[in-house]
Amino acid sequence: MALGAELIALRKTCAETINRNLKLHGHEARVDHRSNEARGLTSPPGRHLGPAAVRQRQESRRA
């Protein structure tokens, strides 16, 4: 199996595990392992800041 196919399989397994637990705990949200392109989305992906940047923004708002 090629590295790309292995990564896709791993992402799918992770999404299935997350979704099973979300459902188990009564959440309606679901995770989709597919790329935006594969889902037919035309908008660019969002930018994630990470915990350090979020914390920094929160601290600067408190000041």
Q: What is the pLDDT of residue 3?
A: 75
Q: What's the token pair of residue 10?
A: 């791993």
Q: What is the pLDDT of residue 44?
A: 86
Domain boundaries, the chain: 1-40
pLDDT band at 62 (very low <50, low <70, confident <90, very high): confident
Contacts of 6 (CB under 8 A, 6+ apart): none
| pLDDT digit string, tens, across residues 5-54 | 999 999 999 999 999 999 999 999 999 999 888 999 998 888 888 899 88
- Quote the CA–CA distance of 61 and 12 in Å, as a whole number: 38
Q: What is the pLDDT of residue 28?
A: 98
- Quote the CA–CA distance of 35 and 24 in Å, as a whole number: 25
- Quote the CA–CA distance of 32 and 28 in Å, as a whole number: 13
